Chains A and B, each alone.
Chain A
Amino acid sequence: MATGVKIESGGGSSSVFGSLRYWLLTPSWLVIGFFLVAPVAMMLIYSFLTKEFRGGVIWEFSLAAYDQFIFDRGLFGDEPPKLEWTYISIFFRSIWQAFSATVLCLLIGFPTAYFIATRPIHTRPIWLFLVTIPYWVNLLIRTVSLKFLIRDSGPLNQWLISFGILDSPIHLINTNVAVQLGLFYSYLPFMVLPIYASVERYNFVLSEAAWDLYANRWTTLRYILLPSVKSGIIAGCILVFVPSLGAFLAPDLLGGAKNFMIGSLIEEQFKGNAGNWPFGAAASMILLTLVLIVLMVYARQQSRTESKYS
């Protein structure tokens, strides 16, 4: 029925509700267009405005926000520009943190996803359920719980001390590690689920063929399995990396002042009277651009792989 499919099957644009599609879609388009697209456009504009003293803006074009990002012009703004590392380093740290969190999720998430995908069919939903339930708990609460657990005076340290493993508490809170742990904790299910979907579709007959040709399980993993589930792994990495970049709660609650990430930097600009709205807008625009670049590269990769195989 290859060539006949389109002609013989009904539906498509002549389906019952097809002609109403624009009516049906317009409400959502309007809502999202007016309350998300327009705001982002507004934000772009704001990043080119001048800062007002008590937060807010003066409607005067200025590149000050972006300038402040990269250059240090001294206290009164009239010295020759030196490279301002503070903010740039925050961005690099965010990228690094997001990257580490992704690696951590991958190291723990891949074996977990694989394990679940190889369970008996009827038990798999239960395993998946177990892995995803924590995700449904409020992120704030999860982050607070983690903070509670790893504080200097928290249960983790208490336990380790009382079991004699440690003499004094490990200082975990307000470190890079804490933030990475927080990000890992926030987004792990996003790594597990796509990998699970890919492994579930994997045909283990391929592994059998590999064994027949003298591979062991690790070389099979490396040469046969991993390439096959690559798309799931990449999807998982994107789903962890992107939210981690812009995360706020983990760095704020677990990282403290010394571990600013982009999210904390942005949030600071809109708090009370010390804020700098254009600067916050500029930082948000940079973050958004970063994210969109990653997503577009990913989308392009996907369509290229699809057209290769279709």
Chain B
Amino acid sequence: MRVNNHAPNQNIVEMAQSSSEIRRFPGFLPITILCLVLLYAPLVIVMIYSFNDSRSITLWGGFSLRWYEDVFFGLEAAKFKIAAWNSLSIASMAAITSTVLATSAAVGMIRGGSFRGKPASFALISLPLMVPEIVTAVATLIFFSTIGFTRGYASILVAHIVFCIPFAYLPIAARLDGIESFYEQAALDLYASKAQAFWRILLPLMAPGILSGFLLAFIISLDDFIITNFVKGAGIETLPTAIFGSVKQGIKPNIMALSTLMLLISILLVTVSFFVGKSGNKSGR
């Protein structure tokens, strides 16, 4: 991230030079299309059938919004509303907490120079990513049970914070890595205290990465199933666990409506995160 360009842009034409004939592989385009079809088909089908008027899940009865109504006002609506509230509130708090922790860790790692234990530190921060989710779930359950941490809202929140940290960390660290250290040095040279240098100079420059990290952590928390399922105990549901429980009894149309809603929200959040990240690289530099 440079304010000015000292070296002429060295990313001169690379692949565009080679004749497209050399680069083309027949059959790769169809496979790519197939890939995209495979990826979207199930989701699109669910979306379509969520508007199915018929109660039978397999016969098409015409377009209708009744299942969406059912989600919000039907028999299970209350259950879903509470679950949604749990999911959203936990995701918000977990995302905020893990983003703060991740920001602090990123500054420590990226600006800390090389120190003994730095690779171990990085391994520790990314540990939640490397341990299989089910192992984390089991370990957390066992641990909470041993120390007497009652399973419930708080236990879910704590577990979420832990695995959100590396997800928030990665975009923040990536962004910080691209910010040259002379900005904060210039701030110090101009009589700013370290705190002022951080708040007024480094933090604004890191903002797109932090926002990206926050959104990423938010989505990850919102979507989590396995760990939540293990540590939540009996009395509480989040949206994914509620959906799972419902699906176990058979796929009902209102589930498809709910799924479509969640699907659209996820896509919206990712798109926002994507554009936030991109804008950070362009303007205001």
Direct contact of A and B (CB under 8 A): yes
A291 cross-chain contacts in B, Cβ below 8 A: 130-132, 135
B141 cross-chain contacts in A, Cβ below 8 A: 270
Does A284 lie within 8 Å of B134, measured CB to CB? yes
Does A15 count as interface, using CB distance less than 8 angstroms?
yes
Q: Pick from B36, B114, B140: contact of A35, CB below 8 A.
A: B140
CB-based nearest B residue for A152: B58
Does A149 lie within 8 Å of B139, measured CB to CB? no
A38 cross-chain contacts in B, Cβ below 8 A: 143
Main secondary structure of the interface of A (DSSP, over half): helix
CB-based nearest A residue for B19: A208
Please encode chain A, from 108 to 151, with 1 for each CB lying within 8 Å of some chain B CB and 0 for all others. 11011011101011000000011111101111111011111100
Does B105 lie within 8 Å of A12, measured CB to CB? no
Please encode chain A, from 4 to 38, with 1 for each CB lying within 8 Å of some chain B CB and 0 for all others. 00000011111111101111110111011101111
CB-based nearest A residue for B18: A204
Please encode chain B, from 2 to 42, with 1 for each CB lying within 8 Å of some chain A CB and 0 for all others. 00000000000011111110111101110110111011111
Of the candidate stretches A69-77, A82-90, A242-250, the one touching chain B is A242-250
B38 cross-chain contacts in A, Cβ below 8 A: 108, 185
How far apart are B7's CB and chain A's nearest CB, in angstroms? 12
Does A111 lie within 8 Å of B27, measured CB to CB? yes
Does B165 lie within 8 Å of A138, measured CB to CB? no
CB-based nearest B residue for A153: B58
Does B194 count as interface, using CB distance less than 8 angstroms?
yes
Does A226 count as interface, using CB distance less than 8 angstroms?
no
Please encode chain B, from 122 to 146, with 1 for each CB lying within 8 Å of some chain A CB and 0 for all others. 0011011011111110111111111
CB-based nearest A residue for B222: A138
How far apart are B37's CB and chain A's nearest CB, in angstroms? 11
Please encode chain B, from 84 to 122, with 1 for each CB lying within 8 Å of some chain A CB and 0 for all others. 000000000000000001101101110111110000010
Does B240 lie within 8 Å of A140, measured CB to CB? yes
Does A155 lie within 8 Å of B136, measured CB to CB? no
| Cα(A243)–Cα(B121), bound, Å | 23
Contacts A16-B111, A270-B230 given; indicate if A207 touches B43 (C-beta within 8 A).
no
Contacts A25-B112, A205-B18 given; indicate if A141 touches B39 (C-beta within 8 A).
no
How far apart are B255's CB and chain A's nearest CB, in angstroms? 7
Does B251 count as interface, using CB distance less than 8 angstroms?
yes
| Cα(A29)–Cα(B121), bound, Å | 8
A116 cross-chain contacts in B, Cβ below 8 A: 32
CB-based nearest B residue for A138: B223
The interface on chain B, measured as residues whose beta carbon lies within 8 A of the other chain's beta carbons, has a size of: 100
Contacts A140-B244, A270-B230 given; indicate if A112 touches B127 (C-beta within 8 A).
no
Does A141 lie within 8 Å of B243, measured CB to CB? yes
Q: Pick from A136, A145, A263, A281: contact of B219, CB below 8 A.
A: A136
Does A138 lie within 8 Å of B28, measured CB to CB? no
| Cα(A37)–Cα(B140), bound, Å | 10
Total residue contacts A-B, CB cutoff 8 A = 297
The interface on chain A, measured as residues whose beta carbon lies within 8 A of the other chain's beta carbons, has a size of: 97
Does A43 lie within 8 Å of B142, measured CB to CB? yes
| Cα(A14)–Cα(B181), bound, Å | 11
CB-based nearest A residue for B264: A137
Please encode chain A, from 34 to 75, with 1 for each CB lying within 8 Å of some chain B CB and 0 for all others. 011111101100100000000010000000000000000000
B22 cross-chain contacts in A, Cβ below 8 A: 204, 207-208, 211, 217, 220
B143 cross-chain contacts in A, Cβ below 8 A: 35, 38-39, 42-43
Does A155 lie within 8 Å of B105, measured CB to CB? no
CB-based nearest A residue for B239: A138
Does B108 lie within 8 Å of A208, measured CB to CB? no
CB-based nearest A residue for B104: A24
List the 6 closest pairs (A to B, CB-CB), nearest first. A246-B132, A24-B108, A21-B112, A13-B113, A39-B143, A145-B42
Sample (27) of A-B pairs whose CB atoms are under 8 Å apart: A15-B111, A16-B188, A18-B112, A21-B107, A21-B111, A21-B112, A24-B107, A25-B104, A27-B104, A28-B105, A31-B162, A32-B125, A33-B124, A43-B142, A112-B31, A115-B25, A115-B28, A115-B29, A130-B36, A132-B270, A140-B240, A147-B247, A149-B41, A204-B18, A205-B18, A221-B25, A246-B132
| 17 more A-B residue pairs beyond the given contacts A25-B105, A111-B28, with a C-beta to C-beta distance below 8 A | A10-B181, A13-B115, A16-B184, A25-B109, A27-B104, A28-B124, A31-B101, A39-B144, A43-B142, A114-B28, A133-B270, A137-B43, A144-B255, A148-B256, A211-B22, A220-B22, A248-B133
Q: Which residues does B use to contact A, with CB under 8 Å?
A: 14-20, 22-25, 27-29, 31-32, 34-36, 38-43, 45-46, 49, 57-58, 101-102, 104-105, 107-109, 111-115, 121, 124-125, 127-128, 130-136, 138-146, 158-159, 161-162, 165, 169, 181-182, 184-185, 187-188, 194, 197-198, 202, 219, 222-223, 225-226, 230, 240, 243-244, 247, 251, 255-256, 259, 262-263, 266-267, 269-270, 274
